[in-house]
Amino acid sequence: MSSQVVTRFAPSPTGYLHIGGARTALFNWLYARGRGGKFLLRIEDTDRERSTPEATAAILQGLEWLGLDWDGEVVSQFDRKDRHAEVAQEMLARGTAYRCFSTAEEIAAWKEAEKARGVSYPVFLSPWRDADPATHPDAPYVIRMKAPRDGLTVIRDEVQGEVTIRNETLDDMIVLRSDGTPTYMLAVVVDDHDMGVTHVIRGDDHLNNAARQQMVYDAMGWDIPVWAHIPLIHGPDGKKLSKRHGATGLEEYQAMGYPAAGMRNYLTRLGWAHGDLEIFTSEEAMAIFDLKGIGRAPARLDFKKLENTCGHHIAMAGDAALLAEVVGYLAAKDEPALSDAQRSLLARAMPFVKDRAKTFPELLEKARFALISRPVAPDEKAAAALDSVSRSILRSLTPHLQNASWTKDALEPILNQIAAENGIGFGKLAAPLRAALAGRSVTPSVFDMMLVIGRDETIARLSDAAG
Ligand code: GLU
């Protein structure tokens, strides 16, 4: 048996990609990638009523945006239904499953009778479990697995520890319905086995399923994967995460302009820790991510921390990569694309705007001076800085800029001199300059803006504002 780690993400395509699902995918991806293993993707589309191609597309788009690449083809669970049925037949042949002819009415009546006897949670015991096949009627049947009646099923979970389930609480679950379709519980196990999955890392809402699924592994004589059931994400108030806490869909975070690297970092830390390490790249995370670091208590979403983490990643990113990501962000939002000129100006502005921007909209707002074209329309606060005194100062400044060499070292003394001549501090001069150059009162440094847009554009904007 190969010792290569194989993990998988197995979403049901019934809606959008929830950030809890995205985090599950991320944990599986990190675990596999950090160990030279494989990360597989399986779409659990057996529920034909609720599964939609749009939901599948949204999941793939979300994973791609988050930068989680999977190995091989995307597996459709529905496409594998014949294989699932084949395994149900194999269980029959092995004697670990049986045909059950009990009708829904008979089962309901059986349960009523049990309740009447005082059993609060009756577990259906099929009369067909040990019936001689010679007595089988020519009638519809389901295939049920012959679950152990007594004893314990122990799930050795890397996160939850040992979880023990009394077998008498589990019924002989159906693996193949009377119409020949497999049940979800069978499909998951067959797929995980056939795909060679060695580690099942998923939400702890599936912990109870693990007990039943483990019985299928046992019934087929298959190796049981390593289980790791991770606690779900809660809202900041400690309650189960819901829309009322804020965004729950990964695509909403993309639309808010959080960088993918920041989201990966934040979601990795959401329920997993490595000492007090907070900020790391995905390569660093791959090297240290482990199942031991996953907490047993539900992690709480913390929007401040998300912003802080994303701010670090924007500041850390290379300028070219950041530009590409901003371009992708605008495209995803259906915003007008940047012209070539805007792109090259944004590239030049990047070193001056990426610090302290937590999202792409914040970065774009700081880069506004590089993206706008004349005439610059100042907002109300900026306009207030352009009174007649300031405008005449701007007018007196422009001739000095004509022949200055275009460096901060050359420009600084010129601006200081103009401020001194007018009996004002540099700060007082900066306000009308910001207004003239960017139309805003809060901007990157005046020198950085002048250097990015260049001499001609600077003089033109100052002249526009001077009137
Ligand atoms: N399809 C299941 C879900 O979306 C996951 C099943 C699994 O990971 O085993 O919740």
Residue corresponding to tokens 């049986």: 98
Tell me which of 7, 8, 9, 12 to substitute to probe ligand 1's pocket, judged by most ligand atoms within 8 Å of the beta carbon.
12
Ligand 1 centroid, distance to 143 Cα (angstroms): 23
pLDDT at 226 over 60: yes
Write out the two tokens for 318. 């290379």
Of 337, 369, 401, the residue that ends a domain is 369
Ligand 1 centroid, distance to 12 Cα (angstroms): 6
Ligand 1 centroid, distance to 78 Cα (angstroms): 14
Residue corresponding to tokens 């067959």: 190
Would you say the C-alpha torsion 443, 447, 452, 453 has a positive or negative sign? Answer: positive
Q: Does residue 197 sit in the same domain as residue 122?
A: yes
pLDDT classification of 364: cutoffs 50, 70, 90:
very high
Q: Does residue 164 sit in the same domain as residue 260?
A: no
With respect to residue 7, please indicate whether it lies within any of the assigned structural domains.
yes
From residue 158, alpha-carbon distances to 10, 250, 276, 395 in Å are 19, 27, 21, 71
Residue corresponding to tokens 């707002």: 365
Q: Does residue 123 sit in the same domain as residue 209?
A: yes
Q: Does residue 16 sit in the same domain as residue 50?
A: yes
CATH number at residue 414: 1.10.10.350
pLDDT (0 to 100) of residue 360: 98
Ligand 1 centroid, distance to 283 Cα (angstroms): 27
Task: State if residue 213 touches ligand 1 by the CB under 6 angstroms criterion.
Answer: no
Task: State if residue 206 touches ligand 1 by the CB under 6 angstroms criterion.
Answer: yes
* Spatial distance between the Cα atoms of 377 and 122, rounded to a whole number of angstroms: 74
The count of other CB atoms within 10 Å of the CB of residue 155 is 19
The count of other CB atoms within 10 Å of the CB of residue 228 is 21
Write out the two tokens for 117. 């006897």
Which of ligand 1's atoms lies nearest the C-alpha of 205? Answer: 10
pLDDT tens for 159-175 read 999 999 999 999 999 99
pLDDT classification of 269: cutoffs 50, 70, 90:
very high
Q: Does residue 100 sit in the same domain as residue 191?
A: yes
Check: CB of residue 255 under 8 Å from CB of residue 332: yes
With respect to residue 153, please indicate whether it lies within any of the assigned structural domains.
yes
Provide the greatest CA pair distance for the chain.
110
Ligand 1 centroid, distance to 200 Cα (angstroms): 10
Q: Does residue 309 sit in the same domain as residue 347?
A: no
pLDDT tens for 130-139 read 999 999 999 9
Of 230, 245, 266, the residue that ends a domain is 230
pLDDT at 437 over 60: yes
Ligand 1 centroid, distance to 16 Cα (angstroms): 14
Q: Does residue 122 sit in the same domain as residue 181?
A: yes
Q: Does residue 106 sit in the same domain as residue 241?
A: no
CATH number at residue 255: 3.40.50.620
Q: Does residue 336 sit in the same domain as residue 429?
A: no
pLDDT tens for 63-118 read 999 999 999 999 999 999 999 999 999 999 999 999 999 999 999 999 999 999 99
Q: Does residue 131 sit in the same domain as residue 213?
A: yes
Q: What percent of the chain has pLDDT over 70?
A: 100
Which of ligand 1's atoms lies nearest the C-alpha of 9? Answer: 8
Q: What is the mean pLDDT of the chain?
A: 96
Which of ligand 1's atoms lies nearest the C-alpha of 188? Answer: 9
Write out the two tokens for 431. 């306000």
With respect to residue 191, please indicate whether it lies within any of the assigned structural domains.
yes
Tell me which of 202, 208, 226, 229 to substitute to probe ligand 1's pocket, judged by most ligand atoms within 8 Å of the beta carbon.
202
Number of domains forming the structure of the chain = 4
Among protein residues, the one with the nearest Cα to ligand 1's atom 7 is 10
pLDDT tens for 373-412 read 999 999 999 999 999 999 999 999 999 999 999 999 999 9
Task: State if residue 10 touches ligand 1 by the CB under 6 angstroms criterion.
Answer: yes
Which residue of the set 115, 239, 240, 243 is catalytic? 243
Instruction: Order across the sheet with 174-176: list the strands.
Output: 97-100, 142-145, 174-176
With respect to residue 102, please indicate whether it lies within any of the assigned structural domains.
yes
Of 209, 230, 251, the residue that ends a domain is 230
With respect to residue 375, please indicate whether it lies within any of the assigned structural domains.
no
* Domain region containing 184: 80-230
**CA torsion, points 334, 340, 346, 351, in degrees to nearest 10?**
130
Task: State if residue 11 touches ligand 1 by the CB under 6 angstroms criterion.
Answer: yes
pLDDT tens for 211-221 read 999 999 999 99
The count of other CB atoms within 10 Å of the CB of residue 287 is 13
* Spatial distance between the Cα atoms of 356 and 308, rounded to a whole number of angstroms: 9
pLDDT (0 to 100) of residue 3: 86
| Nearest to 452, CA basis, from 438, 442, 439 | 438
pLDDT (0 to 100) of residue 28: 98
Instruction: Order across the sheet with 6-9: list the strands.
Output: 6-9, 38-43, 75-76
Write out the two tokens for 94. 């092995």
Task: State if residue 12 touches ligand 1 by the CB under 6 angstroms criterion.
Answer: yes
pLDDT (0 to 100) of residue 2: 57
pLDDT classification of 467: cutoffs 50, 70, 90:
confident
Among protein residues, the one with the nearest Cα to ligand 1's atom 6 is 10
Q: Does residue 152 sit in the same domain as residue 224?
A: yes
pLDDT tens for 299-342 read 999 999 999 999 999 999 999 999 999 999 999 999 999 999 99
Which of ligand 1's atoms lies nearest the C-alpha of 213? Answer: 9
* Spatial distance between the Cα atoms of 296 and 423, rounded to a whole number of angstroms: 64
243 is catalytic: yes
Q: What are the backbone dihedrals phi and psi of residue 70, each rounded to the nearest 5 degrees, phi first?
A: -110, 160
Ligand 1 centroid, distance to 11 Cα (angstroms): 5
pLDDT at 1 over 60: no
Check: CB of residue 370 under 8 Å from CB of residue 452: yes
Q: Does residue 166 sit in the same domain as residue 105?
A: yes
| Prior bond of 137 cis (ω within 30°) | no
With respect to residue 374, please indicate whether it lies within any of the assigned structural domains.
no
